[in-house]
Chain A
Amino acid sequence: MTAQEAWPAVVAGEDAAVFAYSVAGARVATSELRAARAGLDAHRANRDRAASLATQAGGTLPTPAAAYELPFPVRTPGRARELLALVDNRLVALYAEAAEAAAGPDRRWAARRAAECATRAVSWGAAPQAFPTG
């Protein structure tokens, strides 16, 4: 995958993560609201940086969907945590692809975001994985 393809894929993944955090972030337990808000802020910032890298690479920015089909209803704090863990874990592979396609500081940024997403997923209750995927 080229950087021209990899960065827009990250942007699409981050758009989905922002949506998921907007929906599920409000449904976590009160004690976890702050962490959910921090995750939303991180995904928004990462989405913007990835969009900038996508444009630099000559890629086409994906259009964010107005709404996304959720894999399951998010009506309880437990399900909210499950969704947040899923979207974070799914981003790991996208950032790993971007790390493969990029070089230098951009590759470092992608690898750090992969680590950040996998860490957040486990913090939301996902089991650690040898090669984290959603």
Chain B
Amino acid sequence: MPAPARPVRLTRRQALAGVATLGPVALLAACSSGDTPDEPVPSSPEQTVASAQAAAEQRLIDGYEATIAAHPGLAATLTPLRDQHMAHADALGGSPGAGTATVAPSQGAAIAALVTAERQAARDRIGACVEAREPGLARLLAFIAASEASHVPALRSLGA
């Protein structure tokens, strides 16, 4: 994994170098697959942690899908956030699957429900981060918690 450039000089070039730290995805994939990728990898506590978090990501995706369907006017803001949860689920090794979610008829209440879900998600990801034994998984979960916490002000800007 590339070490991030230390931000002593806040140059644009160094800021861009930060993008190279997107390695958690590849790192986790490397850590969670065995030497023989064609064979099923035995379930480990780490995979249990990652799977549970991936399933939670899928529930968030379901919540966003249902909210976008019920309140299409919010699609421009909500779709990128949903896509980020898809990236999280993918990084955690989750397999795509669609569920269902109920949505409040009022737009404000629907947004408030997503705010609550994102806050809980960030808390859960931090809890799983602390529990993780594989350091790369801890790093990935810290990034995901950060992303989810940052969704809250984005949702709030919609007027929730």
Contacts and interface: CB of A to CB of B under 8 A. Distances in A.
Overall SS of chain B's interface? helix
A114 B142 contact: yes
Nearest to B151: A128
A97 B153 contact: no
Interface residues on A, range: 35 or more
A134 B15 contact: yes
Interface in B80-108: 80-81, 83-84, 87-88, 91
Overall SS of chain A's interface? helix
Nearest to B3: A1
Interface stretch (B17-25, B38-46, B47-55, B68-76): B17-25
Nearest to A127: B80
B143 A69 contact: no
A92 B10 CA distance: 15
Contacts, number: 160
Interface string B1-13: 1011011111110
B4 A93 contact: yes
22 contacts: A1-B3, A12-B7, A12-B8, A15-B8, A16-B7, A17-B7, A62-B8, A93-B143, A96-B139, A114-B142, A115-B149, A118-B149, A121-B150, A123-B153, A128-B84, A128-B147, A131-B21, A131-B22, A131-B87, A131-B143, A132-B146, A132-B150
Interface of A: 1, 5, 9, 12-13, 15-17, 20, 62, 65, 68-72, 83, 86-87, 89-97, 99-101, 104, 107-108, 110-112, 114-119, 121-123, 126-134
